[in-house]
Amino acid sequence: MRNTYLRLLQLVTGILIAVLLGIHIVIMHLDAILGFFGVDVNDVTSWGSMIERARQGIWAGLYIALLAVVLYHALNGLRNVILELTPSARTERVVTWAIIAFGIIAFIGGTYVPAALLAG
Amino acid sequence: MTEDSTKQIRFKVQRYNPEHDGTPHFQEFMVPSSQSMTVLEGLIYIKENLDSSLVFRTSCRMAICGSCGMLINNYPHLACHTQIEEFHSNTLTIKPLPNLPIIKDLVVDLIPFFNTHKSLKPYILRQDAEEMGNPTAEYAQAPHALETFLQFTYCIKCGICISACPTSASDKLFLGPQALAQCYRYCADNRDEGEQERIPLVDTDHGVWHCHLAAACSEACPKGLDPALAIQLLKRRLVSRAVGLGKKQQPSPVVLPPTEIKPKLPFPEFTVKGT
């Protein structure tokens, strides 16, 4: 059932991306609409504001979760495309491990700053 | 074939003999066509009157055997089930089915296709091996249970769905719509208990999850089957099993045949020879 679980996770991460990315877009780009509802986000795109959000657990968690689901969704999709175009057992192993390694490195790189800010 | 009802149709037929030709090439034939004439009849005319070396596969001439699948004007059809006038054109381009290796001219090698089909165990599998080997009765099946998979039993294994499938074109290891639809057909059959054996065969990198749902197979199928639907239903069965949802299919019980069998009506006397 490995492929079924992988595909199911692809669907679940797709839905999660829509939700988490939706929150990100609303906060970052739709401040006029938020202002209409009485929410003041100040200068949300400034460096200071970004660092401030990264220090708050809920925001840091949201962005770490967004990074994780985007990486899984994109890299699993890329793996499926590559395996379809170059079908062989050897390619399968190489592509799978290369993509897992890339995903882990990208996740560590992406979470280093918020994790460091949260810790210290 | 009267003079006024015939018109000349140009058949551009792909020829390829792997023993002599480096690459496939086209050869043109002028074929007199009449109303309701099929593409297969045109090919038979060529073989009988113009070039006896033309090779194509045919048998039943009534869309039952699935032998004469070929690419006609760049779309896969059964030649016996396709009338020339359907194309409203004086030129027909005829090529062998794509996504399958060519043996000669319009004949493709269907052995890999049949091997894939056989690998998914397209037959009833039961736990009661003794009853399967030496049946004492029948497996009961209600009409509504039969309807869940009935349309997929009409597959004639012509290979047209494979040749229409874009995933089969790009992924040579893809199981293909025919085999996957037949896998669903047997998994959905309540007389069958072999789903556990078949799932590992289709839950692979080149199995059921590689279907992109282009539905080209369903559009091309000459028998009107919907293999894309079968693949979607197979995906649903896999997900239901993975997350532990869905109703578990109970194997149909063994029942004795009816004790009172009505005798068949005799043939009318005038149809019986010697009366």
- Paired residues of B75 in beta bridges: B72
Token digits for B70?
């070929």
Using an 8 Å CB-CB cutoff, list chain A residues near B206.
83-84, 87
Q: Is A4 within 8 Å of B203 when comparing Cβ atoms?
A: yes
Neighbours of A97 (CB within 10 A): 10
Closest CA to B223 of B77, B110, B109: B77
In chain B, the percentage of residues whose pLDDT exceeds 90 is 71
- Paired residues of B104 in beta bridges: B107
Q: Alpha-carbon distance B114 to B256, whole Å?
A: 35
What CATH number should be reported for the domain holding residue A66?
1.20.1300
Provide the domain count of chain A: 1
What letter does residue B191 receive in the DSSP assignment? T
Amino acid at B206: H
- Assign B4 a pLDDT band (cuts: 50, 70, 90): low
Q: Alpha-carbon distance B131 to B111, whole Å?
A: 32
What letter does residue B64 receive in the DSSP assignment? S
Query: Which residue numbers of B have CB closer than 8 Å to A's CBs?
Result: 167, 170-174, 199, 203-207, 209-210, 235, 238-239, 241-243
pLDDT above 60: residue B275: no
Q: Alpha-carbon distance B54 to B104, whole Å?
A: 9
Nearest-by-CA chain A residue for B234 = A4
Task: Determine the distance in angstroms separating the CA of B203 from the nearest CA of chain A, rounded to an integer.
Answer: 6
Amino acid at A102: F
Question: Exposure pattern of B79-105 as b/e (b: 16+ CB <10 Å)?
Answer: bbbbebeebeeeebbbbbbbbbebbbb
Token digits for B110?
């269907």
Residues of the domain holding A77 = 2-119
Q: Alpha-carbon distance B54 to B273, whole Å?
A: 43
- Residues A31 and A41: beta-carbon distance below 8 Å: yes
Question: Side-chain half-sphere of A105: how many Cα atoms within 13 Å?
Answer: 6
Q: E strands of chain B, at which residues?
A: 7-15, 25-33, 69-72, 75-78, 91-95, 102-104, 107-108, 138-139, 254-255
Task: Determine the distance in angstroms separating the CA of A81 from the nearest CA of chain B, rounded to an integer.
Answer: 9
Interface contacts (A, B; CB < 8 Å):
43
Which A positions 56-85 lie with beta carbon below 8 A of chain B? Answer: 80, 83-85
- Residues A84 and B170: beta-carbon distance below 8 Å: yes
Q: Is A83 within 8 Å of B206 when comparing Cβ atoms?
A: yes
**What pLDDT score does B254 carry?**
83
Domains and CATH numbers, chain B: 7-108 (3.10.20.30), 111-255 (1.10.1060.10)
Q: Alpha-carbon distance B113 to B125, whole Å?
A: 22
Amino acid at B25: H
pLDDT in tens, B98-130: 999 999 999 999 999 999 999 999 999 988 888
Q: Is the torsion defined by CA of B53, B56, B59, B62 positive or negative?
A: negative
pLDDT in tens, A48-76: 888 888 888 888 899 999 999 999 999 99
**What pLDDT score does A53 carry?**
81
Average pLDDT, chain B: 91
pLDDT above 90: residue B211: yes
pTM of structure: 0.85
